[in-house]
Amino acid sequence: MPRRRTTRTRTSKSRKNPRRGIGSKSHQRHRTTHNPTPKGTAKAPGRAAKQQAEQQKQRAEQQKQLQSQRDQQQRAQQVEQKQRNDQAAQKQQQEQATQKQAAQNRQQLQAAQKQHAEQQKQLQSQRDLQLRVQQQEQAVQRLKQENENYAQKEQAQRNQQQRAQQQEREMSALRKQLTQQEQQLHAQKLQQEQAARQLQQARFEEQQQLAQRRAQQVSEQRRRQLDIEQNQRLASFRQREIAQDRLWIQREAVLQQQNRAAQVRFQQQYQERRREQMQNWNARSYEYDNDWFFYSAPSYRYVRDNRSYQTNQYGADLLRQAVNYGYEQGFPAGQADRDDGWRASHTSSPAYQDGDYGYNGYYVSADEYRYYFRQGFSRGYDDGYNRRAQFGIADSSGNLFMLSAVLTSILNLLSN
């Protein structure tokens, strides 16, 4: 560390004392020292020169001390730099030695691997040689066996040819017999089909006659009541269809806002099929008052919501159709919601809310038809959304319909 430089401050006798006035003795002495008087003129310059020499000497010593301190610091820095250089050189030598050792290790490893590969190659050559020897021995054994069995094989072949010829003759006789049997079965099948058609026609005529007799038994008051109910059903159904046409546009707009592309496609197909049904029914010009089956007496009864209902054969068939149509339309609706990544909710589907698919306004009320359509729709929706066939099945043409056991449990129709 450099030695702290100390400076001496010389107090001048001529410094003024603030406590003394101008007229004090010290002030007067100060004034006399600056006056050029002959007394003491040689004494003052000698003292000042002595003081300057002392100050210069002190400064020289201080400069010498500072220089010594700088030299010491420089030598310390050189020593430290040399130590760092030595450490770096030593570290480099160690790294070089490590790299050299690693290179030697790699060379040794490569040599060991090469030696191992050569050993494996030799072992494989030995195995191949042993395998070829074994194969040659086996070939010799097979050749011996073949030579030994050659005569037996020739005899076996001759026997086999004789048996094949015998079997061919027997098969020819069997084919001829089967052809005759097939012709007989085909003729019997044609007879059975013809008999079934005749029986079906007879049953249909019998049902028609029965329906006519039952319709004749219905009183005139009952016929008027049925006419009034049917006219009310038709009027209500047509008004609802007009209102539904306006709702379809709103429902489709909501689905498009929700980015449910698959559900939009299903609803458009559903609406198009519904329009085709309405056009076909309008083109038929059905007159129910000339239909004997419309006035036939109820032949089935069923219970819904703790209330008992009755309907005839055609009404029962229409309710079965409602359940099957509901399942058929619910299945693709569930698939569409799954494809859109939408949560499962069959009640939010416009087709479920509509519920009139397949209804023409006859035989049963619209409320009855919608109820059973929605029963089938909810089950079809669950199967379609979950990709299963728990409640329904598809035929060979791909048409979907409800399982008979499930259909029977939903309708629970009882004959009168």
Q: Would you state the pLDDT for residue 12?
A: 44
pLDDT at residue 218 greater than cutoff 70: no
Which helix (H) or strand (E) segment holds residue 189: the answer is helix 43-217
Q: Would you state the pLDDT for residue 335?
A: 95
The arithmetic mean of pLDDT across residues 213-241, rounded, is 61
Rounded to the nearest integer, the mean pLDDT of the chain is 78
Rounded Cα distance between 5 and 263, Å, is 97
Pairing of strands 300-304, 307-311: antiparallel
Candidates 1, 152, 151; CA nearest to 70 is 1
Listed range (6-15, 35-44, 264-273) with the worst mean pLDDT: 6-15
Predicted structure pTM score: 0.46
pLDDT at residue 202 greater than cutoff 90: no
The arithmetic mean of pLDDT across residues 251-260, rounded, is 86
202 vs 85, higher pLDDT:
85
Candidates 327, 349, 328; CA nearest to 338 is 349
Rounded Cα distance between 333 and 400, Å, is 13
Candidates 27, 400, 88, 23; CA nearest to 391 is 400
Q: Where are the domains of the chain?
A: 175-217, 220-415
pLDDT at residue 34 greater than cutoff 80: no
CB-based contact 87:79 (threshold 8 Å)? no
Listed range (94-103, 108-117, 163-172, 173-182) with the worst mean pLDDT: 173-182
Q: Would you state the pLDDT for residue 11?
A: 46
Q: Would you state the pLDDT for residue 237?
A: 63
Q: Would you state the pLDDT for residue 245?
A: 67
Q: Residue 22's pLDDT band (boundaries 50, 70, 90)? A: very low
Q: Is 389 helix (H, G, I), strand (E, B) or coil?
A: coil
Q: Would you state the pLDDT for residue 381?
A: 96
Q: Residue 227's pLDDT band (boundaries 50, 70, 90)? A: low
Q: Is 302 helix (H, G, I), strand (E, B) or coil?
A: strand
In degrees, to the nearest 5, what angle opens at C-alpha 316 toward C-alphas 310 and 319?
Answer: 110
CB-based contact 30:44 (threshold 8 Å)? no
Encoded amino acid at 251, one letter: R
CB-based contact 287:300 (threshold 8 Å)? no
CB-based contact 376:320 (threshold 8 Å)? no
pLDDT tens digits, 91-107? 888 888 888 888 888 88
Q: Would you state the pLDDT for residue 30?
A: 46
The arithmetic mean of pLDDT across residues 159-164, rounded, is 84
Q: Would you state the pLDDT for residue 229?
A: 65
Q: Would you state the pLDDT for residue 410?
A: 93
Q: Would you state the pLDDT for residue 323?
A: 95
> Which of 13-27, 56-70, 143-157, 371-385 is the most confident on average?
371-385
pLDDT at residue 13 greater than cutoff 50: no
